Structures are given as structure tokens and as C-alpha cells.
Structure 1
Amino acid sequence: MSTATAEADLTVQTAEGPVRGKTAGGTRTWRGIPYAAPPIGELRLRLPRPPAPWRDVLDATDFGPWAPQRTRRLLGGASPGTPRSENCLTINVTAPMQPSGDPLPVLVFFHGGAFTSGSGAMGIADGSGLSAGGNVVLVSMNYRLGALGFMDFRPYSTPERTFDVNVGLADQIAALEWVRRNIAAFGGDPGNVTIFGESAGAMSALTLMCIPSAAGLFHRAFLQSPAPSSAYGPELASGFASELLGLLGVGSGGAAEALAEIPANALVDAATQLSKKIIPDAYPGALSFAPVVDGSFLPLHPIDAFEQGRAAAVPMVIGTMENEGTLFEKLDDVLPTNQARIEKMFELTAPGLRDQVIAGYRGYPHKKQAVEIGGDAVFWHPSIQVAQAHAEHAATWSYRFDYAPRTARVAGLGATHGLDLAAVFGTYDSGPGKNLVRLGNKRTAANVAHRFQSALLRFARTGAPGPMWPKYDQTSRRTKIFDRYDRIELDPRASRRKAWDGYRGWR
């Protein structure tokens, strides 16, 4: 490709204006493109608005600032020098170096981070290898987080100042609408869009399947460790909002004015205190920041929507890690991974089911079983609920990711929450991914990553993750196990699955 041609290929005309990218990692990239108006001033805590058009070529060579959040190095989170701003609604595109004659499949990634942290710019989720090796167009974005994106302040609205709910999810829909308008200009096929994500990113994708206004914006979903029960009605959500305002020293009378003026850093500090120090013990198993079942934008709890056949009937892959809870017990203590929290969780959500569930964990209340209960309550069991419900209405595949590099095993983490990010993006050569293989196993990790990536790429191209991976159903419950050697298991953890029967969590 000549220099002139390469430069021309890097300037793309979008519906809003021209953008110029750069080459990086063997791909063409465009970073930090506004997909919505800055959510500041009068637009703080309001639904996203369309971006203002521009005439001059926009420099799209660097990532936009991350949403306001605390410094969090875990799995490549924000460092002290990471730019952060409320003006964060930007989108990134990565495409293969050589343009294709035919439109390419589009993968849209939603980052995780408990709806309080993360960014589309996280190094562990660098999409250059996935795009170049898979011949796909990869999209990532930033969306509003924490109190600014996933808290219900509607009860504090006044005639002068109105607040909306689920604005972080609405940001994601605005990003998908941008993809529909613009991705063809980057070589992508707007008629073949796969949404995928990990943790809160997977929960985002799963929730979008249940939001009417997102219908038709995507065609497949690949969900890595979602927390499907982590969506709450207005009563619980407004209680969390009241707790946050209390931490800020704000009374209900002046809340509207305060919410309009409080610095983002103060909101982040209060949100961190709420999510780390208060909610885990007061409401074990609940997350401080999560989608709100408001009855209109999100009409039903996601699990209810799947069970009633009202979720988008698109092909879906859903799975969890073998040891979801260990990350939280050792590094991020927010789950019910100890006896006190577990007992309180059942007392507040389903006291009549406590003995039934505990019977599935021989050895409880020993730490190992307590940690397993915490991970299963938030991630594994509700994911099984979604898989078995969706399988009645659309093609569904289930997996469990069991592979853990030696570093993770030595640390006592095993195949824990988030370790599949390095696998799906193939980023074992840098940052947190490199640390995972510093004690060896690099070749094995790369082999597992290749198989996991290949399943995602086949799914994006064809709507099925591969011929050696049978669909999930409520009879055989065939599940793909990703490990040093992959295998198919029938109804893995069957006795444990039955032990959770009837549990509904914080709904």
C-alpha cells in the first residue's frame, strides 16, 4: 500500500464529520470519536444527546478520557496519570490494515469494572490482534459509570432540574446507533454486529438484549461472566441513591442543586465508599451500581425478560469462570464470600432456601465453599438461569473457562473472574496479561486463547461458535469447558445447580 493510499485510508467521512486515524499494531485505528454530546452542564445525569457535527478533519489518533473513576490497577484499570473526565462519550474503531472488498463482521466490546471503572482503552482489551488476526472490525467505547451513569436520582428531580435513569446503558445504545450510522465507512457490516463484554460489560450486553430501544442494533451476543441478577427495582435503587447522598452530606431538599454542582471526584469518592464499605455488608450479593428496572426503558428484570421470551431472540454464547469468587475474596472484597455475608444474604433475600442451597456446598462454612457460594450467587447461577431460558427461544451455547496460568494458581486465584480477557483478546504479551504468564505456561495460554478467540470469531461470522460445540438445552445442558484440553460436559455441577433452584436474589 503506497503512503498516499495509506493516508487516504486513514481519513474517514462519518455522518458527523471527517476523522483521521493512524496505523497501530498492524491495524488501522481511530480513537476518541465523539458518539454523543458531552454529558456535562445541563446534560449531566440526562439521557445522551446526538453529537454536534464538525467540518474540519477530527484528529482521532488518541483515546478519549476515561469516565471519572478511582485509580484501580486491577486488570489494567486506571493509573494515577490516566486522563479522566465527564466528557467521556467517545468511541474507538480498529480495522485490519488492508481494506476488504466485502463488509466485515463487527465486534462491539463493552468493558467491565462493576459499572464503576474501566475503559475501552484498557491495555488488556487491546483489539489489534483480534481485528488483524480475525479480519473483523472491532469497536469499543467509554460510557458513564458509577453515580453519573448507574444510579437513580429521579426522586430528586425538580421542575428546574430533571434527572434520567439508566444513562450509562443509554450511552451504550447511542454508541450502537453510531455503529449503525457509520461503521460501513470503516469497512464494517452494520447488518452483522456482535456485542460482547466481560463482567459489567457482559451484564451491559445482556441487559441491552432486554431493552426495546436497542432492538435491531445488534445480531449476536457473546457474554463473559455477566451478573444477570444485578438489576434492581426503583425502591432498592433509590435507597442506594439516598445512601450516596448521605455520604456526601446532602439532604433531599437541596439534592437537585447539589447533584448538578458536586465535582465528579467527590461523587467517585462517595461511590467508592458506598460500594466497598457499605453495600457489601448491608446488602450482600447486591452491587451498588447496576441497571434499574424502571418499567419503561428497561421494562422487566433481565432474568424475567429471558424467562418470558421477551429478550432479543438473537444467538447467544454465555459462560463463567471456574473460580469466579476468588478474585473478590483476595483482591476486591465486595461479594458474599464469608459466612456472615452469606447468612445475611439468605436472611434478606430467601431465608426458606438457605438450607437447600448450602446443602450443595459440602464443607461450608469453610472458606473455600464460602468463596464458591459468593461467586455462584452473583455470576454462575444467574447465568445458568439465562442460558436455560434463552435456549427455549434462540440458539444458545454455554461454556465454563477453567484454564488458569501458573501465576494465577500460585496466587490461589485459579481460573478466576476476568482472566479470560487476556485470552479473548490474545494479550498475554503486555501489561496484566504478561504478568499472568510470567511464571510460565505462555505457550499453553496462547493455545487456549486461540481456541477461545476462534470461537468468538466463528460466532461473529456465522452465528455459531463452532462445530465441536453443541447448543445448550434444558435436557442435556451440554457445556464447553475451555482448559488445557477442551471438552464437552453434560450438566456440569448438576447437584449445585439444583441446590439453587428457586433462588431469585435481590429482585
Structure 2
Amino acid sequence: MTSQPQAAGVRGTPAFVPAEPSTPAGTGARVVVRTSGGPVAGERVGAVTVFRGVPYARAPLGELRFASPRPPLPWHGVRPALRFTDVSFQSAVPNRPVPPSSEDSLYANVWTPDPQGARPVLVYIHGGGWQAGAGSLPVYDGARPAERGDLVVVTFNYRLGVLGFGLHEDLADPETGHFANWGLQDQRALLHWVHANAAAFGGDPGNITVCGTSAGGASAWQLALLPELRGLIRRIVSISPSHVTPPATALTPDDARTAYEAVARRLGTTVAGLRDVPAAALTGAWEEIFAAPPGRRIVGSGRWYRGPVLDGRTMPGYDHLLPTPDVPVLSVHTSTEGSFYTGPGSPQPAPAPRDEAELRRAVRSVLRLAEPDAGDDLADACLSAYRTAARDGNLPADALSLWTEIWGDALFRHQIVRFSERHARHGRTALYAMEFAHPARAPHFGTPHEATSPFLFGTHRLPRLADVFGRGRTEHLLSDLLIDSVAAFARTSRPSSPDLPDWPAFTPEAPSTLVLGGPATAEVVHTPKLAQLGFWDAVGWTPRL
């Protein structure tokens, strides 16, 4: 393991996702609908109509860089919506080719069975650690859930990295006063656009479910907490979120100010002058600020990745300190979240620990992301707790398995389970819990973080994804069950399918977590691997119950 495992949480978009388009453009009958900006022409592809690259906000270029999103400029005539646009500006990462990226990226993609009608709308927020990814990646092709679930499915891009998530008062928008979290502002603007335009695509503007994975799952939760969006968001599907908390997964406001000022000095300008420097130079200087190991950086927070910064407006508080969302929740995680980062497709490949000393160093480096003084004593305590849990639960206890469990629990599963328990005890709406457990194929192992997306979108059949997850009868069934569950939840606030067992709302004391995948295909059980989460409670990991 390297000395800076922060990159393991940075890249929430799977390394195995191909970058080439999954559906050829320009092959179907044209379908025209009228949006708030003007008419757009999509095309009929099989059982759905798809509209690609529909602007939901003006291009954030020039003086609009670091500005709040503005409504798109109206156009005359019919605008083609046949091709995906460039993804939001981002840098290349290991194991994942980046398609052409641009600051002109604030576009939505819509799949609908029929522009007539009033179907539930599913808005999907892509992951990528707030620094990578795009709504147009082939894994997120919305055709299958739109058709099978009878849904209007929307994906989109939002600003990323230094252009999307940070804070500095010198970047204040003269019209709105906002000076932080431009990507989160984009997400909010997209939801207002969907509400205004859903009916044009055959959707019900009063029935919008926000869904997302990884950074997108955390964003769905955050958006549901914004007073401005109460009543607009009907329910959320939060999949494998890593909630924003410093020092590991967010910059503090002071550290964000320091980082932007340091970037400006490197580039020979002021913070306000960052609007005028080339995007590549700006992104490169930002990444240099965080290239050193966490203990040698100029700031102490943002060690794992840089998500939304607490600003009192776009992010009024950290999730664990705010009330739980007042909407129904479907909470999903995978059985081994950490195997995304310890498998061969890891965004930052690192050799697995081979002996006790290497394992201790690996665990200590993970602990130090939140506990800078963590030493061998704490690492040994962590390993002891996990070995005991593995023995009692008849689970593997080799070095790779232990490291994978510790990594996945630290970043994802501990907080997902604890947030579910918190909602069950204090929330006013139902929360349903799912663990997705379909194993990846060797040399991958376990059920990695982001393994849900190919099944939610039915894109596990794409060649490069099928190599990891399979494309047989079992995979087809699991995809159908996941789509059915989400579609039923978007329609009734209760996930269900005739082919699933009775699935009650989550309660910590009773069998109430649906395990989808694995030997039983689908069964309702007590929360799996609960004992090993106790270690994180003991060392003060958030959220605390």
C-alpha cells in the first residue's frame, strides 16, 4: 500500500467502465419535445426515446467560472439532442480512460418510454469522488430501467474537482452571493430543471426520486436536507455513499481558502484571477497541492478526497449533525465495498499486504486519514477486532480479506449502517436497507463498491463489464430485481417485486436487510457483519449514535 491511500476514495467511477458510447447516435426516428429553453429532437431507440446533451444550465465559462449556474440561453428552432456532450473537465486517472472533457458540460440526458404520460422520474447522480465521472458513461445508459421500470430516467454532468467543490469568498457570485460548492449548485439547478421540464418527457414533476452512487449517493442525501428542495424531492436512493466529514473526506472552510490561495500563488495570480487561467493549469496546480502524503500537505483536511465544503448555504451542516432526511430512503451498499480498491481494477493499484508487518502498515495508513496520531497499537486493536469478528462469523481472515473489510468499512459501510440505524430511530419516514452481494469474477473478488450500477442500468452485459460481473441468467435476474425494486420505490415509496421475499422497513433489532445476490439470490436477514463495525464506534468514527 502506498503512503497516501486518499486516492482510493477519490475515484468512485469504476475503473472497468468503457469510455466509448454504448448506443450509436442518429439511428432512430426523431422525436421532438419542447423544453423551457426551446424544442429538442431526440430519437427512438428500441422501446424508449432518448434525448442526449440537453442543456440544463449555461456553460460556466469566462466570468461564469465559479459562478452559480444560470438558466440556459433560449434557442430558436429545433436543437438536436442526439449525441452525448463532453464530460465535465477532469484529469486522467490510472486504469480509467477519460473521454473528451470540457468546462462546457452542464447537460442532461433523458430516457423515456413515451413523452406522453406522467411517469415517476428517476434522477441519477454519478459518482467519482466529486472529481471524476460523467452521466454519459456507458454504464449509466438509462434505456433498460426506463423500459422495464416505466420510468423517466435522467443522468447529467456537474462541475468537478477544483472547478466544482471548494470555497473562497473572493469567488463570490455577484448575483447570488454563493462562493462554494459549484458542483452541488449544479445538481440543485438540474433538479429545478427536471421539475420544470419533466412533463415534456412524459414524467410527473411531482414524483421525482433522486438516486446516486458513491459521491452521487452522498449528494442525494445532502440534497434531501436542503430546505429549498423540500417538496421537490419525493424520495432518495442512496447507494454506497461516503458522507462528507473532515478531515478524511472534505476540506474545512479554512483549508479550502488556503488551498485556493496557494494555487493562485503558483499560477501568479489572485484567487479571483483563477477565473482566467486555463483549466488544465488550474487543475494541475490544485492536484499538486494534494500530491504529497497527508502529513506533509499545507492543509490537514481533504485527506481522502475533496467533497462539498461546509458553507452554511449549499451545505448547511455535516450530515451526521443534521436531522435525517424527511423523505423515504432506500439505502444500498455492497457486501465488500473495499474490494473495489484492493482488486486489480483499483484506481490506485497497490500490492496486497503479504505479511503481518505490511498489513499493520496498511491498516495504520487508513486509520491516519482520520486519526493522524494512529500508531501500531491502534492498528493492532483494529486487526484484533476484525480477526475476532471473522472467527465468530466464519469469515476469511487472510491479509487481503482483512484489509479489504477494514478499508470498505472505514470509508463506507460503517456510516451507511449507522445512518440507517439513526434514521430508523429518529426519522419520520421509512428506510429500506439492501446489501448487494453478487460476486465479481476472478481476479476481482467480493462485491466491489460501484458493483450496483451495471445491474441498476442493465449494462452488466457490455463486454468489459460482463468480464467482471457476467451476463448469464443469474445476472439478468439480479438486474431485473434491482430495477424492479427501485422502480417500485420510485412509484410507491416501498421497494418490492413479486419475485422478492417480503421486505420490511429497516429496524436494527429485526431481520430487515435484503441481501440481493449470493447463494440465496434474495433473502431478508439481520444486518450482515455487524460485529466488526463496533471497532469504529470505539474510536469515534462518525456518525455516532
Question: Which of 104, 112, 118 lines up with 1:103 in the alignment?
Answer: 118
Q: Deviations over 1:49-96 (max 9, x none)?
A: 12222222111111121101123585xx554xx232101111111111
2:535 to 493, 496, 499: 499
Residues 113/210 of structure 1: CA separation in 2 closer, same or farther (3 Å cut): same
Give the drift of 1:239. 2.1
Alignment match of 1:444 (pick from 437, 450, 474): 474
Is the Cα–Cα contact under 8 Å of residues 171 and 179 in structure 2 kept in the other structure?
no
Partner of 1:116: 131
**1:274-308 alpha-carbon deviations (Å, 9 max, x no partner):** 56654598669943320112123321101221xxx
Where 1:428 maps in the other structure, the secondary structure is coil
1:21 alignment partner, SS class:
strand
Candidates 348, 367, 371, aligned match of 1:347? 371
After the TM superposition, which of the residue ranges 443-452 and 223-232 deviates more from structure 2?
223-232
Question: How big is the shift at 1:193?
Answer: 0.9
State how far apart, in whole Å, the 2-side matches of 1:272 and 1:235 are: 14
Q: Distance in 1 between matches of 2:302 and 2:366?
A: 8
Q: Does 1:34 align with 2:67?
A: no
Deviation at 1:396, TM superposition (A): 0.2
Contact 1:337 1:374 in 2 (8 A): no
Counterpart of 1:262 (choices 271, 274, 277) is 277
1:472 to 486, 506, 516: 506
2:440 and 2:317 mapped to 1: Cα distance? 39
Quick one: percent identity of the two aligned structures?
31
Equivalent of 2:517 in 472, 479, 483: 483
Q: SS state of the match for residue 338, structure 1?
A: helix
For residues 356 and 201 of structure 1, what CA distance do their matches in structure 2 show? 33
Partner of 2:321: 304
In structure 2, the CA distance between the partners of 1:51 and 1:226, relative to structure 1 (3 Å rule), is same
SS in 2 for 1:298: coil
Contact kept in structure 1, 2:253 and 2:310, CA below 8 Å:
no
Q: Structure 1: any 5+ residue segments left out of the alignment?
A: 1-5
Q: 2:311 aligns with which of 274, 280, 294?
A: 294
Distance change (3 Å), C-alpha of 1:73 and 1:108: farther
CA distance in 2, matches of 1:376, 1:255: 41
Query: How many positions carry a matched residue from both structures?
Result: 485
Given candidates 357, 363, 380, the residue that maps to 2:413 is 380
Shift of the 25–243 alpha-carbon distance from structure 1 to 2, 3 Å rule, reads: farther
The CA distance in 2 between the partners of 1:425 and 1:279, in whole Å, is 36
> Residue 3 of structure 1 aligns with which residue?
none
Deviations 1:439-482 (A, max 9, x none): x5622111211111111111111110126211112333621111
Q: Counterpart in 2 of 1:194?
A: 209
RMSD: 3.4
Is 2:390 the partner of 1:360?
A: no
Residue pairs, 1:249-288, within 5 angstroms: 250=266, 254-273=269-288, 278-279=293-294, 286-288=303-305
Distance, in Å, in 2 between the alignment partners of 1:204 and 1:69 is 19
**C-alpha separation between the residues in 1 aligned to 2:464 and 2:67?**
35
Bigger fraction of residues in helix = 1
Structure 1's 446 and 425: CA in aligned 2 closer, same or farther, altered over 3 A?
A: same
Cα distance, 1:163 vs structure 2: 7.0
* 2:165 equivalent to 1:135: no
> 2:321, 2:403 → 1: CA distance?
27
Q: Is the 8 A contact 1:108 1:196 kept in 2?
A: yes
Q: Deviations over 1:148-204 (max 9, x none)?
A: 0012233676999x8710110110010000011011011000111111111111111
Where does 1:5-404 land on structure 2 (aligned, <5 Å)? 10-72=31-93, 78-79=97-98, 82-96=99-113, 98-100=114-116, 102-154=117-169, 164-230=179-245, 236-239=252-255, 242-243=258-259, 246=262, 250=266, 254-273=269-288, 278-279=293-294, 286-305=303-322, 310-330=323-343, 331-333=346-348, 338-345=362-369, 347-348=371-372, 357-362=382-387, 366-391=399-424, 392-393=426-427, 394-404=429-439
Q: Answer yes or no: is the 8 Å Cα contact 2:33–2:115 preserved in 1.
A: no
8 A Cα contact 2:159 2:186, kept in partner: yes
Work out the CA distance in 1 between the residues paired with 2:196 and 2:172. Answer: 33
Q: What's 2:6 paired with? A: none
Query: What amino acid is aligned across from residue 508 of structure 2 in structure 1?
Result: Q
Q: Contact between 1:381 and 1:500, CA under 8 Å: does it hold in 2?
A: yes
Secondary structure at 1:500's aligned position in 2?
helix
* Contact persistence 1:276–1:333 (CA under 8 A): no
1:460 equivalent to 2:493? Answer no
Distance (whole Å) between structure 2 residues aligned to residue 457 and residue 489 of structure 1: 22
Distance 1:349 1:258, change over 3 A: farther
Q: Deviations over 1:407-434 (max 9, x none)?
A: xxx1143211111111111112215323
Contact 2:246-2:252 at 8 Å conserved across structures = no
2:331–2:434 Cα contact (<8 Å) kept: yes
What amino acid sits opposite 1:85 in the alignment?
A: S
CA distance in 2, matches of 1:156, 1:464: 43
Distance 1:157 1:99 in 2: 39
Secondary structure of 1:460's counterpart equals: helix
Q: How far off its partner does 1:109 sit? A: 0.6
Deviates more, 1:173-182 or 1:343-352: 343-352
TM-score normalised according to structure 1 size: 0.86
CA distance in 2, matches of 1:204, 1:171: 11
Secondary structure at 2:487 match in 1: helix
> Using the alignment, how far apart are the partners of 1:454 and 1:297 within structure 2?
33
Looking at structure 1, the residues matched to 407 and 227 of structure 2 have their Cα atoms a distance apart, in angstroms, of 31
Distance 1:35 1:29 in 2: 16
The answer to whether the 8 A contact 1:213-1:297 is kept is no
Distance in 1 between residues matched to 2:123 and 2:150, nearest whole Å: 14
Match of 2:449 in 1: 417
Report if aligned partners of 1:15, 1:182 keep a CA contact under 8 Å in 2.
yes
TM superposition shift of 1:273: 4.8
Q: Distance in 1 between matches of 2:146 and 2:362?
A: 41
Indicate conservation of the 8 Å contact 2:173/2:179, yes or no.
no
Structure 1 residues 344 and 47, CA, compared in 2 at 3 Å: closer, same or farther?
same
The Cα offsets for residues 317-340 of structure 1, whole Å up to 9 and x where unpaired, read as: 112111211222342239999134
Question: Could you say if the C-alpha distance between residues 53 and 42 of structure 1 is closer, same or farther in structure 2, counting changes exceeding 3 Å?
Answer: same
CA distance in 1, matches of 2:68, 2:379: 40
